[in-house]
Amino acid sequence: MGGGGIMSDQFLQRASVERSGSAATGVSEPSAIEEAVIAGQARVLLGSIPVGVAGGIVSGFVVAWILRHQLPLHHVIVWLGGMILAHLARLGLWIIARREIEPLPDASRWLFRLRLSVFSIGLSWAALPAFLFPVDPFFQMFLAVVIAAASGAGAAQQSSDAPSAMLLMLPPVVAMAARQLLSPNPTLEATGYLALVFSGYLALVARRIHRAFLEVSRLHAVAAEQARIDPLTDLPNRSALSEHLRLALERARRTGAVVAVGYIDLDDFKHVNDVNGHAAGDALLHAVARRWRDLLRRTEVIARLGGDEFAVVIENIDSQHAAAEIAAVCERLHRAVATPFDVAGGGQARIGMTMGIACYPADGDDPDVLLRRADAAMYRLKERKNVREAWWQFATTPVVPAVAG
């Protein structure tokens, strides 16, 4: 599972697609930021599971051992077994999350699962005062202390997500307080009121911590996006592309699909800069990026590497139909630059493009190797610009016929 400092691959793809509708303002849609925040919440909750499982199971054994003579033994064993199963289910979620190739795909669903698993822990503690309440006032007080400690520790551990803290804390606290308030013992009745006040305080603290966590997470998500987006074109930058390509290759290894990496250099861009100025050149790069974004599909990510160089990663290519699929993408990319661009002063600029393509697994399985081979193929073709018969070529033996330029 990816660390908190790495923007998820889904976040990159969604941000790239959503930015096509917000390119005029340069601000991404809130949904991409919110998805990153939810992923951060889920990562924090997942990180708390190992310690929570260890503490919960140990506490359960201690409580069961102390109450074994105060309650029917088979009832205590059933309760302890249910507690252990609830914690093992949470541990299973943690193990599954660590095996994910991508950092928490579908974070909202993960957050729902984690909250549900926390609720099961709260219910397991609530079962003690609800169904297994001892008769001896001393052990009743002991159980009240255990419930208060378990609820407080659990709420603190889940405080980055207020709903999780409430789902863990409220069931046992409410069940225990109900028992204490109905007790004829005035001391137990008083502790019941204290339990309600204590739970209210914990709820308030958890809510404030939750709000602070969300605010910090949003700032982090925005900063992470800005660090991985090219400010001129609003396309992913080289760092974002490298991470995306790494994850794309991981997916391809699992599914057996082909991944194509195209290294693009714009033809005649220097002429636009020399004749119309750098401002016109920047506007042209922005316009090219906007056209490419309009043609972008979820299995394709285009990034700016620097200057007038770009790279495209094409995923989920069927090895049996690679020829048609890669050719179709190349045609769309070329169509975007084939139409002249308006430049300042009322004129038009015509540019072309040269692209080298490397494919996984034929040309390698390392992101840097694939980019270097695609780059080398592009430069070999660029050197023959005036005599070439095609505008793109493969790094090695082509799997598809080159398209005439």
- Distance between CA 374 and CA 362 in Å, rounded? 12
In a domain, residue 3? The reply is no
Q: How much is the pLDDT for 259? A: 94
Question: Do 281 and 329 belong to one domain?
Answer: yes
Q: How much is the pLDDT for 9? A: 54
Q: How much is the pLDDT for 272? A: 84
In a domain, residue 233? The reply is no
**Tens-digit pLDDT profile for residues 45-60:** 998 999 999 999 999 9
Where in the sequence is the domain holding 96, given as residue range(s)?
Answer: 9-227
Name 260's bridge partners.
314, 359
Mean pLDDT of all residues in 13-37 = 53
Mean pLDDT of all residues in 388-392 = 78
Name 175's bridge partners.
none
Question: Do 112 and 32 belong to one domain?
Answer: yes
**Tens-digit pLDDT profile for residues 305-347:** 998 999 999 999 988 888 788 888 988 898 888 888 888 767 8
Tell whether the model's pLDDT for residue 5 goes beyond 50: no
Confidence grade of residue 207 (pLDDT, cut at 50, 70, 90): confident
Question: Do 76 and 216 belong to one domain?
Answer: yes
Question: Do 116 and 245 belong to one domain?
Answer: no
Q: How much is the pLDDT for 403? A: 42
Name 264's bridge partners.
310, 355
**Tens-digit pLDDT profile for residues 255-279:** 899 999 999 999 888 888 888 888 8
**Tens-digit pLDDT profile for residues 313-324:** 999 998 888 878
Tell whether the model's pLDDT for residue 171 goes beyond 60: yes
| Amino acid sitting at position 109 | R
- Distance between CA 198 and CA 148 in Å, rounded? 8
**Closest by CA position to 322, among listed 379, 279, 363, 291:** 363
The CATH number linked to 370 is 3.30.70.270
Tell whether the model's pLDDT for residue 23 goes beyond 60: no
Of 192, 227, 262, the position where a domain reaches its end is 227
Mean pLDDT of all residues in 68-80 = 92
Question: Do 154 and 218 belong to one domain?
Answer: yes
Question: Do 64 and 120 belong to one domain?
Answer: yes
Question: Do 204 and 257 belong to one domain?
Answer: no
Q: How much is the pLDDT for 319? A: 84
Question: Do 197 and 113 belong to one domain?
Answer: yes
21 versus 378: the higher-pLDDT residue is 378
Tell whether the model's pLDDT for residue 30 goes beyond 80: no
pTM of the model: 0.66
In a domain, residue 1? The reply is no
In a domain, residue 335? The reply is yes
Mean pLDDT of all residues in 146-168 = 88
Question: Do 144 and 286 belong to one domain?
Answer: no
Q: How much is the pLDDT for 27? A: 39
Sign of torsion over alpha carbons 91, 93, 94, 98 = positive
Tell whether the model's pLDDT for residue 85 goes beyond 90: yes
Question: Do 18 and 141 belong to one domain?
Answer: yes
In a domain, residue 54? The reply is yes
Confidence grade of residue 392 (pLDDT, cut at 50, 70, 90): confident
Tell whether the model's pLDDT for residue 169 goes beyond 80: yes
Tell whether the model's pLDDT for residue 192 goes beyond 70: yes
Cβ(326)–Cβ(356) below 8 Å = no
Mean pLDDT of all residues in 1-5 = 38
In a domain, residue 36? The reply is yes
- Distance between CA 250 and CA 254 in Å, rounded? 7
In a domain, residue 390? The reply is yes
Question: Do 320 and 265 belong to one domain?
Answer: yes
In a domain, residue 45? The reply is yes
CB within 8 A of 184, min separation 6: which ones? none
The distance between the two most distant Cα atoms of the chain, rounded to a whole number of Å, is 99
Residue 398: Cβ-neighbour burial (10 angstroms; 0-12, 13-18, 19+): middle
Question: Do 155 and 285 belong to one domain?
Answer: no
Domain count, the chain: 2
| pLDDT over 90, % of the chain | 35
Of 227, 259, 281, the position where a domain reaches its end is 227
Mean pLDDT of all residues in 351-358 = 91
Q: How much is the pLDDT for 60? A: 94
Of 227, 252, 275, the position where a domain reaches its end is 227
Q: How much is the pLDDT for 369? A: 94
| DSSP state letters, 321-374 | SHHHHHHHHHHHHHHHHHS-EE-TTS-EE--EEEEEEEEETTT-S-HHHHHHHH
- How many residues does the structure list for the chain? 405
CB within 8 A of 339, min separation 6: which ones? none
